[in-house]
Every structure is written in C-alpha cells, then in structure tokens.
C-alpha cells in the first residue's frame, strides 16, 4: 500500500519541473511561497514527502515492536504538515529563525515527537488495560512483598473505556482522600508493571516496588502534571499530595496495603468486578 502512495506522490511531484534538484529546505520554502495556488502547493508537498520517505523505514526499524510502517507514514504526514503550517524558521524569536536548515530541523524534530507521543499513548493504554485486570485481593495480600501476576495480554478494553477513573480520582482528592487519589493515579501513569515470559507466553506483573519508588519520589513535575490531569490548581495539589513523598518506606508500604484492602470494599471497584 505504501509503495502505491509513494508512486502517487512522485507523479504529483513531477508536475514541478526540476524538483529533484531542489534541497529539502528549498522545497519547504517553495511550498510556503506557493500559498494561494493549491495545485502547486500539493505538488511541492508531494515532493517533500518523496524526499523524506526514507524516514518511514528508519522509524519503523526503531519502533517495529509497537508500530507498523503505516503508523510511521502517518507520523511523517503529520510532521510535514506541522512543519509547513508552523513555518518556525520565519518567525522572529524562534530558535531557528532564518536558519537555512530550519525546515529540515523542524520535520525531524516533529518525527521524534510523533514517535514519543505514540509510545506514550501505547504505554498509557497498556497501563489502563492492566489496571482493569488487577485483582485487589492479590494486591492487598502481596503488596508488601514482590511482584504479582495480574494476567495475560487479554484486556477488558471496553470496560476500561467506560470507566470514570479520572472523576473517581478527582472525587477522592476533593474529599481529602489524597493518598488514594495519588495511588490510583500512579497505577495509571507510572511504570508499575513488568512484562515477563511464563510458559512461553507474555504475562503482565504488577511490581509494588516500582509503585513505592514512584510514590516516594513525587516531585514538582509530577505535581504539575497531576494538577493538569485533574484540573486542580498547582499550589493546591502541591500542598495536598507532596506529603506522600515524605512518608517512610515502612509507612508507605503499610498504607498501600491498607488502601488496596479498603478499595476491595469500594462500591466503584466492586461494580467493576475488581475484588
């Protein structure tokens, strides 16, 4: 399919005579200069896509464990469009203002950002899926020891999509149950799951040590992100949740275990079949 796309782009680019002799940066500038002539802009866009086509294979090689060539193609389209729309090299105050290689720098930067954003999406989805298959019994019983297996890659995706987890966390925060709010948020956004191979099949394990490490190292970046996720004033979030990182290791583990035990009887989680 992508080969067909590339051929269409090449044919459209050939409507601009001598485009092969122009540099990547010049092609981008020609696109911007052609504003008001959609057909010519389309040809220059196609020429730019042809010039950067190799990035699809390059990024797929780096990301083949999670991304398809079609995904990388979408990253490229978004990156080129983003570059040509922003025209950062023409904006005063920009770090690449009047940089002759500005367009190329923007496109490559956008590709890196697109890959990172994709990975963040995949990781967040995996964490949410994992959260949906947690056994609170197992977590409560083993939170003071080591990792516990929580299931295979089979996920309750439809169930997760219907959860009001964000509202639940916000409600807990507003009711001053800050520890519960932080704990569940860390389960969702923190790297607290391991993937291991058991009997030749991938399994997902909850790792309580990772959860403790995250909660004992709450910093300003986490607080700011937490406030943005739940639309809470940063200063209010800071005053309410920073204390968690000051808890001793023993107290933190004990509170985690007690919290999992308490959540077993929470109507919200019982309604999900998580006991």
Question: Domain ends where: 75, 99, 127?
Answer: 127
User: Could you tell me if residue 102 is inside a domain?
Assistant: yes
Overall number of domains in the chain: 2
Write down the pLDDT at residue 62. Answer: 86
34 or 271: which leads in pLDDT: 34
As to burial, measured by CB atoms within 10 angstroms (0-12 exposed, 13-18 middle, 19+ buried), residue 204 is buried
Q: Which of 190-194, 236-240, 243-247 has the lowest mean pLDDT?
A: 190-194
Q: Which of 7-21, 100-114, 174-188, 191-205 has the lowest mean pLDDT?
A: 191-205
Question: Domain ends where: 127, 147, 171?
Answer: 127
Domain interval for residue 238: 133-270
User: Could you tell me if residue 85 is inside a domain?
Assistant: yes
Q: Which of 55-69, 136-150, 192-206 has the lowest mean pLDDT?
A: 136-150
């Amino acid at each position: 399919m992508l080969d067909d796309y590339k051929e269409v782009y090449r044919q459209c680019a050939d409507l601009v005579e001598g485009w092969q002799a122009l540099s990547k940066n010049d092609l981008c500038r020609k696109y911007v200069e052609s504003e008001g002539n959609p057909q010519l802009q389309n040809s220059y866009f196609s020429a730019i896509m042809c010039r950067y086509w190799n990035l699809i294979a390059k990024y797929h090689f780096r990301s083949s464990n999670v991304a398809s060539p079609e995904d990388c193609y979408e990253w490229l389209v978004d990156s080129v469009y983003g570059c040509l729309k922003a025209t950062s090299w023409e904006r005063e105050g920009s770090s690449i203002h009047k940089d002759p290689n500005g367009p190329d720098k923007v496109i490559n930067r956008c590709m890196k950002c697109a890959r990172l954003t994709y990975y963040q999406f995949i990781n967040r989805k995996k964490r949410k899926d994992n959260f949906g298959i947690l056994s609170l019994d197992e977590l409560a019983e083993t939170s003071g020891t080591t990792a516990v297996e929580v299931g295979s890659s089979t996920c309750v995706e439809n169930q997760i999509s219907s959860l009001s987890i964000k509202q639940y966390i916000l409600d807990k925060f507003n009711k001053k149950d800050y520890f519960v709010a932080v704990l569940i948020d860390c389960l969702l956004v923190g790297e607290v799951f391991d993937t291991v191979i058991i009997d030749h099949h991938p399994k997902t394990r909850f790792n309580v040590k990772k959860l403790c490490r995250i909660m004992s190292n709450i910093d300003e970046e986490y607080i700011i992100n937490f406030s943005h996720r739940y639309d809470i004033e940063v200063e209010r979030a800071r005053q309410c949740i920073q204390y968690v990182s000051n808890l001793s290791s023993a107290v933190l583990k004990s509170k985690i275990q007690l919290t999992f035990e308490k959540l077993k009887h929470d109507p919200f989680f019982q309604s999900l079949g998580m006991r």
